[in-house]
Structure 1
Amino acid sequence: MRIRVFGASVTGALALCAVAVPLAHADGGSGDTTITKVVVDGDNKVVVGTSGVVTVKVAVTAKDDSGIKSADNFSLSGPDHGFFTTSKPTCVAASSTTSTCTGTVKIDPKVDYLSNASAGTWYVDAWVDAKDGDFVWVEKAGSFTFQRAAKLTADATPEPVKKGKTLTVTGSLTRANWESLKYGAYGSQSVKLQFRKKSSSTYTTLKTVKATSAGALKTTTKATVDGYYRYSFAGNGTTAAVNATGDLVDVK
């Protein structure tokens, strides 16, 4: 099940969806039930583009002397009234006392009315029941980064080039706009120019380049040996990391 809370700018029938949001609870519980770990999508990062459904897996590990019985649907909440709930979690015992309960939620940028302001740090609220009747409820039991997908290009010219001559590497950095469902320029960001020899599998950083306000990238470097040039963006709290496809240059 999914529940999406819409921002104040949404009016009419869509705004009625907000009434489905459960009332907030304070942290609490009974007995010795505890939540020991929360992991979202394996690395606590969720990246969403402008199309395609993203399935997010939320795994909550809990412990009680009597063992874990079940968990309620986990709530995911973030900036600009962002809100989703997972499917009913399935709990798998790792021992007589500890289980990991996993639920999923499907996010579709075309139907879930994401706002760009919703990118950032999100939190997981979790309720877990033990076999002896104890339970634990924790708001912000875990956190994850909800990011806009990014795209990056690189083009090195001239090709081929004489050894020792200057190469010009251009490119562009864009990111998903969840409101227009298109990719738009992501300007003024620091991006690394990287190179790897044709015979190697490892890239090394040559320099850091700052994109223009329109997301354009341009810099020069000296050609030494055959190899691939690419730009690499490290990502941040709202936008996912991305590497451009390497452009092979033949050095004569």
Structure 2
Amino acid sequence: MRRSVVAATVLTTLALFLGPAATARADVASPPRILGGTVHAADFALGPGDSRTFFVSFDAEDDSGISRNNAEADLLGPAGRQLQADPRQAGTDICTPHADNPKRSTCRFTFTVRGNRWSLTNADAGLHELYVLVAANDWVPREEGGLVTDGRLDSIRIKRKAQLTADAFPEPPRPGHPLGVVGRLTLADWDNGGYTGAPEGLPARLVYKADGSTRYEYPADLTTGRGGVLATAVPPRPDGIWWLAHDGTDATPWVYSAADHVDMP
């Protein structure tokens, strides 16, 4: 975003003075009113090098009208780092007055995030909350009046893309002996590129479907070990398909392994 005097004096510290329990803040008794904000995207996951562009908007009003370009929207993530909107295109305004009510404006922003350390770190995966600032037309820099901020208007979860493997053994199983299943959950490594083992303690499930059946069974609940490894052993079952599944968290998406078909001897 092209920065004005607002950016130099206030916007770069937006996340700091809002803090984790922020509420609307203003400099005068009758500041602009922020009427609500929206992140126009569903939660998504990024692989290494992937990118995603989405839009954010909020509405505000003031008796003098809303300044067209003294506004900002930031997304504050779990690691405390704020993601800033893309620079606005030359010749365009951030905030546009409503045709039927010039005292009220809609302010729009574009965000582009990428799965690399210049945009996101692994610690940034999770919930990102929308914080905004806007100025009225009668606001004068370095003087009180006409400036307002608000936070936690909406949110989006930006997750690390996941991969999951599964292998059942031995094949064919030995009659009367357990069937072993091992796999590994890996996550996009935004810090270094590629994929890396998931942290310990993430939930996963063993899934089974017998041949000819439409019923899915969940013989074991698991958690990842060191490096994202998963392992279990269960009593053998009739011929069928086995998977491992991770249902996802705030920072990771759901993912299923490829199916492994096991025939009983």
Give TM-score scaled by structure 2 length: 0.64
Q: Is this contact kept in 2: 1:59–1:100, CA < 8 A?
A: no
**Aligned amino acid, residue 23 of structure 1:** T
CA deviations 1:173-198 (Å, max 9, x no partner) are 11122111121112422321111234
What is the distance in 1 between the residues matched to 2:116 and 2:2?
14
The 1:74/1:209 distance shift into structure 2, 3 A limit, reads same
CA deviations 1:103-134 (Å, max 9, x no partner) are 4322222473422222233221235799xxx9
What is the distance in 1 between the residues matched to 2:2 and 2:238?
53
The 1:161/1:102 distance shift into structure 2, 3 A limit, reads farther
What is the distance in 1 between the residues matched to 2:168 and 2:2?
45
What is the distance in 2 between the residues matched to 1:108 and 1:194?
33
SS at match of 2:123: helix
Q: Is this contact kept in 1: 2:113–2:119, CA < 8 A?
A: no
Residue 112 of structure 2, aligned match among 106, 111, 120? 106
Residue 213 of structure 1, aligned match among 220, 226, 243? 226
Counterpart in the other structure of 1:14: none
- Structure 2 residue 187 is the aligned partner of structure 1 residue 175: yes
Counterpart in the other structure of 1:157: 169
- Structure 2 residue 123 is the aligned partner of structure 1 residue 117: yes
- Structure 2 residue 262 is the aligned partner of structure 1 residue 249: yes
Q: Mark the structure with the bigger radius of gyration.
A: 2
What is the distance in 2 between the residues matched to 1:153 and 1:170?
8
The 1:226/1:38 distance shift into structure 2, 3 A limit, reads farther
Residue 48 of structure 1, aligned match among 46, 70, 73? 46
- Structure 2 residue 160 is the aligned partner of structure 1 residue 148: yes
What displacement does 1:33 show?
5.0
What is the distance in 1 between the residues matched to 2:106 and 2:209?
42
What displacement does 1:224 show?
2.7
Gaps of 5+ in 1: 4-18
**Aligned amino acid, residue 47 of structure 2:** G
Q: Is this contact kept in 2: 1:193–1:205, CA < 8 A?
A: yes
1:1-252 matched pairs, under 5 angstroms: 22-24=11-13, 27-28=24-25, 34-36=34-36, 38-39=38-39, 41-42=41-42, 45-55=43-53, 57-60=54-57, 62=59, 72=71, 74-78=73-77, 79-86=79-86, 103-110=109-116, 112-126=118-132, 137-161=149-173, 166-189=178-201, 190-199=203-212, 203-251=216-264
What is the distance in 1 between the residues matched to 2:212 and 2:68?
53
**Aligned amino acid, residue 73 of structure 2:** F
**Aligned amino acid, residue 185 of structure 1:** G
Gaps of 5+ in 2: 19-23, 89-93, 137-145
CA deviations 1:167-222 (Å, max 9, x no partner) are 22111111122111121112422321111234456633211123321322221223
Counterpart in the other structure of 2:143: none
Give TM-score scaled by structure 1 length: 0.67
What is the distance in 2 between the residues matched to 1:162 and 1:2?
68
What is the distance in 2 between the residues matched to 1:160 and 1:111?
45
What is the distance in 2 between the residues matched to 1:35 and 1:201?
49
What is the distance in 2 between the residues matched to 1:139 and 1:174?
33
Q: Is this contact kept in 1: 2:166–2:260, CA < 8 A?
A: yes
Q: Is this contact kept in 1: 2:161–2:187, CA < 8 A?
A: yes
CA deviations 1:16-62 (Å, max 9, x no partner) are xxx899334563576895534634522xx34222122223x245464
What displacement does 1:74 show?
2.9
Task: Tell me whether 78-87 or 183-192 shows the greater mean CA deviation.
Answer: 78-87
Q: Is this contact kept in 1: 2:184–2:229, CA < 8 A?
A: yes
The 1:111/1:175 distance shift into structure 2, 3 A limit, reads closer
The 1:220/1:85 distance shift into structure 2, 3 A limit, reads same
